[in-house]
Structure 1
Amino acid sequence: MYTTQMDAARKGIVTKEMEIVAKKEQMNVLDLLELVAKGTVIVPANKNHKNLDPEGIGKGMKTKINVNLGISKDCPNIEAELEKVQVALDMKVEAIMDLSSYGKTEEFRQRVIAMSPAMIGTVPVYDAIGFYDKELSEIKSEEFLDVVEKHAQDGVDFVTIHAGINKETAEVFKRNSRLTNIVSRGGALMYAWMELNNKENPFFEHYDKLLDICEKYDLTLSLGDACRPGSINDSTDASQIKELMILGELTKRAWERNVQVMIEGPGHMAINEIEANMVIEKKLCHGAPFYVLGPLVTDVAPGYDHITSAIGGAIAASHGADFLCYVTPAEHLRLPNLEDMKEGIIASKIAAHAGDIAKNVKGAKEWDYEMSKARQQLDWERMFELAIDPAKARRYREESMPEHSDSCTMCGKMCSMRNMNKVMEGKSVNILRED
C-alpha cells in the first residue's frame, strides 16, 4: 500500500496515474517513477477526484497550463462560471483553479470537480472568510487548516498555500520598501492576519498538520509566492528571494512526508531577469516543479496582458518553468468573460508549446514539422486540424476566399509555396495568365 504518488514511487510501485502520464509523455514509466520519487515531477491526483485524467508536471514533461475561474461578490453567477469550465475543458486545458471567494463556493467547487477530468486547484484562504462568515482577524489558526481539509475532502488535487510569508519574511518585507507592496491576494490576506493578530502564519506554524492533510488525501502543495512582484520595479528583490528560500526549506519538509510539492513564482518581471529567476528557483527549491503567473514582461498593457504574459511565459518555459498560469486580456481590470478566457488559454498554449520546442520536449517539434509539411502541400484541412485554434484559423480563411484554392488572398498566384511546388515539379509559373 502507499499514501501518495511520491510514496508509491519511492516504494517502486507504478500507479495507474503514472502509467497514464508516461503514455502521454511518450516515456518509460520507470523513468517517470524515478522523477516522481525525487520530487522533480509531480502527479497531482487527490484520492477523491474520481474522474481525473492525470497529468505530470515537472522535469522532462510538456509544459502544462492552468485556467483561473470562480465566483466573486460582484459576479456570483455559478452557471456562467460553469459554462467557462466546460469550454476550458473542451479546449483541453490541463488544470483549472477555482478561485471563488464569495457565495456558494462549496456548491461550485463540488460541481467543478464532478465534471472535470482536469486537475483542480484552489486557494483555501480565499474561502475562509465566507466559510466561517467571520472577518479576517477573527478566524482562528486551526480554522484555516479546517478549510484546507474540506477542500481536500471534496477532491481538490492541489492547493495554493502561502506558508512562506512567515514572520521572518515579513520583517524582510518591512525593511525593503516596494512600489506595489504585496500583490498576491492570498499573501496579502495572510500578511494582514499576522499583523492584525500579532501571530505567526498558521500555515507555517502548523505546517506538520498541513502535511497530515496532504498525506491523507494525496493533496499536492502548491507553495504560494506571497511576495511575487506585482511590477517590474519590484522583481528579484529581497522579499521575493527571502520567501523563495523559506519555500525551499518547506519543500524538503514536505518530501520527508512523501507530500508532492510545486513552487509558485513571479509575477511581473523584465525579460532579462526571467532566465536567472528560473535557475534560482530550481536551485533554492531543489528542482521542484515551478508554476509561474506569466511572468508579465511590462506593466503598461492593460487589455493585452495575455500577450505580455505569453511573451514571459514562453521565455520562462524555455528556461525550466513547468506550469503556466494563464493570464487574460481582462487581467488587472475585471473578472474575465468567456471570450477573455478563450484568448488567455490560446496565448498560454502558444507560450507553453514555444517553451517545449526550446526544451526539446518529446513530440514538440514534430507538431510544427507536420504543420510546415501541410503548408508546403497547401493542405488547408490538415493545417486547420493541426492549428492550436482550428476554429479561428478556418474562420479567417473562409472570411476571405481566394480566386485560386491553392493560395490565399494575401499572395494569390504569387504564393511562394504554390510557385515553388510548380517549379520543383518542372512546371511553368503563370502569374498573369491562367495555367
Structure 2
Amino acid sequence: MAMQKEMTMPRLGESVTEGTIVEWLVNVGDQVAEYDPICEVQTVKVVAEVPASFSGTVKEILVPVDETVSVGTPIVVMETEAGAEVSDDDQTTTTPAPTKPQTPVTAATIATESTPSVATTDGPRFSPAVATLLSKYQLDPNQITGTGHQGRLTRKDVENFVAQRSQPQTPQSTPAKSVAQAKPVQSGLMGQLATDTVQPASSIRKAIADHMVQSKAEIPHGWMMVEQDVSDLVKLRQSEKAKFQQLEGYKLTYFPFFVKAVAQALVKHPRINSSWQNNQILTHHEINISIAVAKGDELYVPVIKHADNLSVKGIASEITRLANAVRTGKITADDMQGGTFTVNNTGSFGSVASMGIINYPQAAIIQIESIRKELKPTPDGLGFKIADMVNLSLSVDHRLLDGVAAGGFLKDVKANLMQFKPGFELY
C-alpha cells in the first residue's frame, strides 16, 4: 500500500534558520532513492544539495525556485511504500482520500505555535525579523500581500512594499514590457538614446543582500580607526617570501600576519568575540576567524577554525585552501560556519579607510587597509623617516561594545603587529 509523506527543509548548518531553493534536481513523477540529491538550497553561508530523506516517487513540489522558507517547512511530497523506514525528522504524513478536508500539522505550523510570532486576526503569521521591519517603517501588515509558504509574510515582501511605496506612481495602460522590448529614453548632455536593462540577481547575491539588510537593521554600528607602523613586518615578509613560496608552493602575503595579530588580541578581549542574542551576551570560547573571498560578483565568507592556535604558516595555508575552494566551487557548508569574528582584507583593493558591515550575528569586523609609505617623525623626535603605515578600521555592535572596548582591542592588535620583524618564526 502506498502512502504520501512530506519532506521538510533540513538544517544546513549551525545558526542557519532558512534557505532559498536555487534549483530542483527532480521532477514530479521521478523515482528517488534515499540520499539522492533532490534540490539545491542557498543559505547565507553556502549553496548545498539536499538529499532525499527516504525513497519514493515525487508527487508534488511545494516550494518553487527562488522562494525562501524556514527550516522545517515542507518542500516536497513523496509517495512511499507502506512500511518503508522513515527518519525521525520526517513525521508529517497524509493519508489517502480523507473523508473531509483537514489541515495537516506540519513542521512549519508547529514552529509558529511553539515560538514567538506575530499575527493579524485574518492574515498570515510572520517572523520577528519581519516584525522589526514593520515597526521600523510603521507599516500595517494587512496592507502587504504575503508571498511565503501558505501566505506567510516574508522580509522580502516588506522590503518590496517599502521600495514600491517610495517610487512615484505613474499610470500604466499596458503591462510592463520585457527587457528586450524596453523603450529607449534620452539621457546625457547630448541627449543620446540609452536603454536601462534589468537582470535577476543570483541566489547568492540575494542572500548577501538579505544578510546585509538584517545586519544594518538590527545592529547599531559603531566605528573606530587607528594607524600602525608595520615597517618591520614589511621587512620580514620581504626576507621570507621567496623561500616560503619555494617550500610551500604559494605566496606569503601580509594577510596571515594580520589574522594572527587579531586572533591573539581576541584571546585577551573575549567580549569582542561574542554575539548579542535575545538581550544576552553570548561569549564564544573558540576563536574562528571569518574571511571574505570574492568569486566574480559573489562574496563568500569561509572560516579559519581555531585561528589562535595556528602559526602564521598555518593561517596562510588555511587562507589559501579556503580561497581555492571558493573559486573552484568546492567550498563546503562546514567551511562556511562557526565564524565568531571577521577580518576583511580591503587593502587588496587599495582602500585606506572603510567601514565594514558586521557579519551578523557577530559583534565586530575589522578592515585591514592598504600599506602605504608616509613621512613620520623618528622615535627620538629629531628627524623623519619613511615608514610603512596601515589603517585598521573596526566596526562594532554598540549594544555590547563601546569605545573603551574597541580601543583596548585595537591597542593590542597594534602591539601584536609590532612583534613581526626579521627573525620571527613563521612556523
TM-score range, shorter chain: under 0.3
Q: TM-score, normalized by length of structure 2? A: 0.22
Q: TM-score, normalized by length of structure 1? A: 0.22
Bigger fraction of residues in strand: 2
Larger Rg: 2
